[in-house]
Amino acid sequence: MKQILPRCLTAFLLCLPALPACAAEATPVEIEFSRQQSILHGRGTLRLEGYVIDRGLASYAHALMPGFEDAVERLGPKDRWLDIGAGRGQAIIDYYAPPSDADALRKPPRRKADTVAMSIEDRRMEAWHQTAARLEPGQMRYVFDKPLRAFSAADLGGQFQLISDVIGGFSYTEELSMFMERVMSLLTVDGVFYSALQDVRNEDGDNKPFYPNEPFLTRIFDEKGAETSICAWLRRIQCAEVVCMPKSGWKPPLQTYRVRKTCEAVSVPRLERTRFVAGTPPERSFRITPAPAAAR
């Protein structure tokens, strides 16, 4: 659901103590960032309907590209999975749920992968703590209070074979190229990133924005100023094998992405942010920055 915040927000949303928007010299972009922080930190009745924090593993499989379920199932005891924008961590809780069928119950339990759930706020409930208590120490981690770009691989315990993001950082970040640089650095070679975006331009450019008289929710323009697709930009990442696929039956429509890291010499085309309007998720525009000329 697209919920762009109205300009007439209450004083509470504009004047949280840690945010810069109350300063007289705040720029329009700083005000939008402050509004966005209000969304991310909203609790109880202050959490907007479109900001979902309790998606389970079945919801992930429904939203992401086919193959995600198999990728989770294939994770072995030495593998690692990072879930960005995990909210309460329900998808990871579901991953560790005991088997329900009789045949599986008769087999020795198989150690599952290590996992890290990431959220901008600590949204854990009792179910998280109960699940973590029956696993090995450190097998199931939860990190919060910082965006992805602020975490190093050492902070997160190393690289990952699988990274997922269902309307999380990929949809909310104001620095999209930096986000993908960090995702690619955190993947092992042959590791895979699964994600999705709402209401964006298809790779063929044959669709229109879902909301009348509104732009696509996330837009990318090339070096000459022509609008292109998220998928076209992702395909320009060096050492990335990219598959893009629309998901039918969603309102707004979803475009799903699978990015496999093929080598270590990753290079992500730089983006300059040109627009940011707070919402769930925010409305964003970026322009590809021309690559610097090679030295002669």
At 122-142, the pLDDT tens digits run 999 999 999 999 999 999 999
pLDDT of residue 76: 97
Contact 133, 155 (CB under 8 A): no
Q: Residue 258's beta-bridge partner residues?
A: 194, 243
Kindly report the three-state secondary structure assignment for every residue of 172-213: HCCCHHHHHHHHHHHEEEEEEEEEEEECECCCCCCCCCCCCC
The whole-angstrom separation of Cα 19 and Cα 62 is: 36
Q: Long-range contacts of range 12-19, CB-CB < 8 Å, 24 or more positions apart?
A: 12/38, 12/46, 13/38, 14/38, 16/41
Residue partners of 103: CB distance under 8 A and separation at least 6: none
Q: What is the mean pLDDT of residues 143-160?
A: 95
Name the strand (E) or helix (H) holding 284.
strand 283-288
The whole-angstrom separation of Cα 79 and Cα 64 is: 20
The whole-angstrom separation of Cα 140 and Cα 93 is: 9
Nearest alpha-carbon partner for 192 in 62, 80, 270, 115? 80
At 231-267, the pLDDT tens digits run 999 999 999 999 999 988 889 999 999 999 999 999 9
Q: Is the pLDDT of residue 219 over 60?
A: yes
pLDDT of residue 32: 82
Residue 108 pLDDT grade (very low, low, confident, very high; cuts 50, 70, 90): confident
Contact 162, 192 (CB under 8 A): yes
pLDDT of residue 114: 98
Give Rg (Cα) of the chain. 20
Which token pair is 68? 């995600």
Q: Helix, strand, or coil here: 59?
A: helix
pLDDT of residue 17: 42
Model confidence, pTM: 0.86
Q: Is the pLDDT of residue 18 over 80?
A: no
pLDDT of residue 239: 98
Summary mean pLDDT of the chain: 87
Residue 105 pLDDT grade (very low, low, confident, very high; cuts 50, 70, 90): low
Q: Is the pLDDT of residue 103 over 70?
A: no
Q: Is the pLDDT of residue 110 over 80?
A: yes
What is the secondary structure of 106-174 as a DSSP string?
HSPPPP--EEEEEESS----HHHHHHHHTSPTTSEEEEESS-GGG--TTTTTS-EEEEEEESSHHHH-S
The whole-angstrom separation of Cα 169 and Cα 207 is: 24
What domains are defined for the chain?
53-97+109-288 (3.40.50.150)
The whole-angstrom separation of Cα 242 and Cα 250 is: 22
Report the range of poorest mean pLDDT among 20-24, 77-81, 135-139: 20-24
